[in-house]
Amino acid sequence: MAEGVVGRLRPRVGSWRSVLRHGPASAVWALLVAILILPIAMFLVIAISPRLLGQGDQWFTLRAFARVLSPSLLPAAVNSVSVALAAGVGAVVVGAAMAWLEQRTDLPGRRLWSGMMFSLMLAPSYLIALGWERLLEPAGVLDVLGLHAAWLRGHFYGPLGVSVVLGVKGLPFAYLAIAGALRGLGDEFEDAARVHGGGPVTGLRISASLLAPAFWSAFAIVFAESVSDFGVADTLAHDAHFPVLTYTLYTAIDAFPVDFPVAAAIGWVLLGLAGLAILAQNLAMRGRAYQVLGGRTRQVRRRHLGVVPRLSALAGATMVGIVGVGIPLLGALAASLFVGMGTLAASPTLTLDNYRRVLESAALHAPLAYSAEMAFVTAFLAVGLGLVCARALSTTGNRLSGRILDLMLLTAVALPGIVFAAGYIFTYNLPIMNRMGIHIYGTSLLLLLGYVATALPSTARVLVGSVSQLQSSMGQAARVHGAGAIRAWFSSSLPLLARPILNAWLLTFSATLLELPVSQLLYPPGSPPVSVGITKALSAYDLGGGTAMEVVSIALVLVVMGATWLGWRLLAPRGWKRIGEAR
C-alpha cells in the first residue's frame, strides 16, 4: 500500500524537478517569442490576411501588395533599391581601398584611418545627414561663410546625397568584412603571378578574385542596411522630397486611420530586398572555392609607397574622412554655435546660447536624460539576455533548439527597426491584449521592449564568440569545491568574459541612446527620446537647439565610454585586465 502511494508520488516529484530545471529556459524562450517573433509575425500576416486580426473582410488577399506596386508607391521602392545599390557598390570600393592601404602599405597614420571607421559606426545615419544639411541648407554654414553653393545643394538634396550618406554609414561594415579577409591572404598568389610574367595589375586582379566572398558579403550587408535605413529617410530624403520605402511605411503607420495592411506589405518588400542581396551573394559564390589559409601562408610584406602614390593615398583617405566625419561634424558644431542659422530673419550670431538652452530648458535636456536612462537599462537587459542566448548557441548549436534560436536571431538582425516598431504598435494595441491584462501600449515599457528586441540579436552575436570559448570544466571545478551555480559563474566565467561584456554593453548603450526608428514610433506621449527631440527641434526650425542636442548627445556617449574604460582600468582586478592582452 505504502509502496503504491510512493510510486504514484514519484512522477509528481520528478515533474516538479523538471519544471524547476527547465523553467528558466522556458521563461527565456517565452520572452524571446514575445519580443522577437510574435509582434513581427502578427504584423506581417496583416498584408495577406487582414480579417484574421480584424483589419479587413478578406481571409486572403494581395491587395496591399498591389497598392505598394501602384504608381503612387512604386517610385519609393525603385528609389530605395537604386540608392542601396549605389551605396553598396561605393562602400565596397572605398572600403576595399582603405583596407588595402591600411594592411598592405606603409601609409602614414594607418591607425587613425582605421579608428575613423569605428567612429563612423557610432554615428547614426540621421546625424550624418543632418550635419550635411546644416552645411548646405539656405542660410547654412556655407552661406554664412560667404560660400554660396546652391549648385551643390541642388545636386546633394536628392539621390546623390542619400546615396553618399548611406554609403558613408555602410563603409565601416564593408571595411571590416574586407579587412578580415585581406588579413588572411598572403603574398604567394601575387608572387606567383609575377613569376609567370604578370604585373602588379595582374596580382591585384588575382587577389581581388580571391576576396570575392568578402566583397559580396560587404555588399549584401551595406545593401540590406541601406534599403532598411530610416534615419536618412526621415531627414535628408524627406527634406529633398525623395520618397523611399521606410518613410512610406512610417507615413502608413502615422496616418489616421492607420493603414496596417500597406505598412505590412512594405515590411514584406523590405525583407524580400534584404533576402535578395543574400541570395545574390550565395549564387555568386556557388561552385567556387576560396580556401587560401594553410600551413604555407606567408606573412605579407608592406609595400613602400613612393612620393606620388603616398600623396594620392593620403588625399583619398583624407577625403573619405572629410566626407564621412569632417563635414557632418563641422555642420553640427557650426550650427550649434550660431543663433539664427538656417533662417532669413537675421544674420547669424556666434554664441553659446544654444548649449545653455539645452542644459536649462526641460524641453531640450529632458529627452537626453530620458534616453540615457532607457539606454542604461536596455544595455543591461540586452547583455544579460545576450549571454543566455550566446550560451545556448554555443552549447546546443547542433540541436534543434539551437538551430531555431540561431535562425531567430539571424532573422531579427535582417529586420529593419521600423518594421520592429510597427509590429509592436499593432500587436500590443490589439483588443485581445487588453483582455489579457497587458496594457503597455503607449508606455515606456513598450519602448524598452522595442529597444531590447532590436539590440538583442547583435549583442548576442557579439558575445557568442567569447562564450563559445569557455570550457565547461571550469564551472564544474568550482561546483566541486562547494560553489553554487551563481557563485561558480561569477568566479570562473565572469573574469574571462568581463571585457567582451563591457564592449557589448558600451555598443548597446551608444546605439540605443541615439536610436531613431523605434523611438519615433513607440515613445510614450510627453516623453520623447533624444533622437525624437532633435528631429522635433529641427522641424520647428530651432536649428541651433537641435544641433546642440546632437553635439551634447555625442559628447555624452564619449564621456560614458571614457568613464567606463577608466573605471575598468582603475577598478577591475589585475587578472581580469590581463586576459586577452598581448604581451
Write out 153-214 in H/E/C secondary structure. Answer: HHHHCCHHHHHHHHHHHHHHHHHHHHHHHHHCCCCHHHHHHHHCCCCHHHHHHHHHHHCHHH
- Sign of the CA dihedral with 375 first, then 380, 385, and 387 last: positive
- Sign of the CA dihedral with 281 first, then 283, 284, and 289 last: positive
Q: What is the DSSP letter of 326?
A: I
Quote the pLDDT of residue 186.
53
| pLDDT (average), residues 511-522 | 86
Residue 312 has pLDDT above 50, yes or no: yes
Q: Are 509 and 379 in contact (CB under 8 A)?
A: yes
Higher-confidence position of 282 and 320: 320
Quote the pLDDT of residue 375.
92
Quote the pLDDT of residue 7.
46
| pLDDT (average), residues 292-319 | 67
CA distance 574 to 214: 38
**What is the residue-averaged pLDDT of the chain?**
75
Q: What is the DSSP letter of 340?
A: S
Tens digit of each residue's pLDDT (9 = 90 or more) over 119-166: 777 778 888 888 888 888 877 777 777 777 778 888 888 899 899 999
Residue 337 has pLDDT above 70, yes or no: yes
Quote the pLDDT of residue 474.
55
Higher-confidence position of 358 and 512: 512
Whether omega for the bond prior to residue 573 falls within 30 degrees of 0, making it cis, is no
Quote the pLDDT of residue 373.
92
Percent of the chain with pLDDT over 90: 5
Q: Are 374 and 448 in contact (CB under 8 A)?
A: yes
336-345, 375-384, 573-582: range with highest mean pLDDT: 375-384
Residue 377 has pLDDT above 90, yes or no: yes
Q: Are 168 and 120 in contact (CB under 8 A)?
A: yes
Residue 571 has pLDDT above 60, yes or no: yes
CA distance 28 to 391: 12
Residue 537 has pLDDT above 70, yes or no: yes
Higher-confidence position of 190 and 324: 324
Residue 378 has pLDDT above 90, yes or no: yes
Phi, psi of 303 (to 5 degrees): -85, 135
Which amino acid is present at 63? R
pLDDT band at 2 (very low <50, low <70, confident <90, very high): very low
Which amino acid is present at 329? L
CA distance 154 to 578: 54
Quote the pLDDT of residue 163.
92
| pLDDT (average), residues 295-320 | 71
Torsion of CA 328, 331, 334, 339, to 10 degrees: -130
Quote the pLDDT of residue 525.
86
pLDDT band at 491 (very low <50, low <70, confident <90, very high): low
Residue 298 has pLDDT above 60, yes or no: no
**Comparing C-alpha atoms, which of 504, 508, 502 is closest to residue 579?**
502
Residue 454 neighbours by CB under 8 Å, 6+ apart: 417, 420, 515, 518
Cα 275 to Cα 168, 181, 270, 299: the distances in Å are 22, 23, 9, 37
Quote the pLDDT of residue 87.
92
Q: Please tell me the total number of residues recorded for the chain in this structure.
A: 583
Task: Work out the angle at residue 118's Cα, subtended by the Cα atoms of residues 113 and 124, and round it to the nearest 5 degrees.
Answer: 125
Of 108-117, 245-254, 256-265, least confident by mean pLDDT is: 108-117
Of 34-48, 73-87, 444-458, least confident by mean pLDDT is: 34-48
Cα 414 to Cα 40, 270, 454: the distances in Å are 12, 9, 10
What is the residue-wise DSSP string for 362-421?
HHHHHHHHHHHHHHHHHHHHHHHHHHHHHHHHHHSTTSHHHHHHHHHHHHHHHS-HHHHH
Q: Are 549 and 534 in contact (CB under 8 A)?
A: yes
Cα 195 to Cα 188, 199, 202: the distances in Å are 10, 9, 11
Which amino acid is present at 38? L
Q: Are 61 and 445 in contact (CB under 8 A)?
A: no
Give the CA diameter of the chain.
101
pLDDT band at 9 (very low <50, low <70, confident <90, very high): very low
Residue 393 neighbours by CB under 8 Å, 6+ apart: 402, 405, 406, 409, 460, 464, 467, 468
Which helix (H) or strand (E) segment is 221 a member of? helix 212-227
Phi, psi of 338 (to 5 degrees): -120, 145
Quote the pLDDT of residue 200.
57
Torsion of CA 11, 12, 18, 23, to 10 degrees: 160
CA distance 309 to 313: 6
Q: Rg of the Cα trace of the chain?
A: 26
Percent of the chain with pLDDT over 70: 72
Phi, psi of 96 (to 5 degrees): -65, -40
* Residue the block writes with cell 571607421: 117
CA distance 417 to 516: 9
Q: Within the chain, how many helices (H) and strands (E) appear?
A: 31, 2
Q: Are 97 and 108 in contact (CB under 8 A)?
A: no
Quote the pLDDT of residue 490.
59
pLDDT band at 83 (very low <50, low <70, confident <90, very high): very high
